[in-house]
Amino acid sequence: MHFYAVRDLVVDPAGDPKKQRAFALVSHQGLIESRFPTVVCAPVYSNGEGLGTQVSVGPNEGLKHESWILCDNLASIPKSKLTNYVGSLSPAKMGELNYALAVALDLPIEAQ
C-alpha cells in the first residue's frame, strides 16, 4: 500500500481546507493495473479519534508528521491525480489497515 499527495481534489462535499492531501491507495492490484480510470483511496488527516476505522501513521511511513488514515471516508480518485509518491506501510501497519477497512465496511473479521 502506498501514499500519494493529491492536489486540488474535492472529495469532501463540505470542502477540504487543504490544497493538497495525502491518500492511502487501498484498491486491489488488478484495479490499479487495469484501464479503469479511478482507484479507491482513504484520506490521511492530521487528527484522528483512535477509532477502529482509523490507522495512525507518520514519518516511518514517509509522512511529514503523525497522521491518521480514515477508512470510513473512502473516495474514488482518478489515477491521473496520484502523481506525487509519499511513502508506504510496513507489513504490521498493513495489518492494521486491513482491520480498519474491515471495520469500516462491516466485513467479517478473521481471527489472527
Instruction: Identify the pLDDT of residue 5.
Output: 78
b vs e for 88-111, b when ≥16 Cβ sit within 10 Å of the residue's Cβ?
A: ebeeebeebbbbbbbbbeeeeeee
Instruction: Identify the pLDDT of residue 91.
Output: 93
Grid cell listed for 94: 498493513
Q: Is the pTM of this model over 0.95?
A: no
Torsion of CA 93, 96, 98, 101, to 10 degrees: -120
The answer to whether 54 and 48 have CB atoms below 8 angstroms apart is: yes
Instruction: Identify the pLDDT of residue 20.
Output: 81
Instruction: Identify the pLDDT of residue 15.
Output: 57
Instruction: Identify the pLDDT of residue 8.
Output: 65
Residues of the chain under the 70 pLDDT cut: 1, 8-18, 111-112
CATH 3.40.630.10 is right for the domain spanning 2-104: no
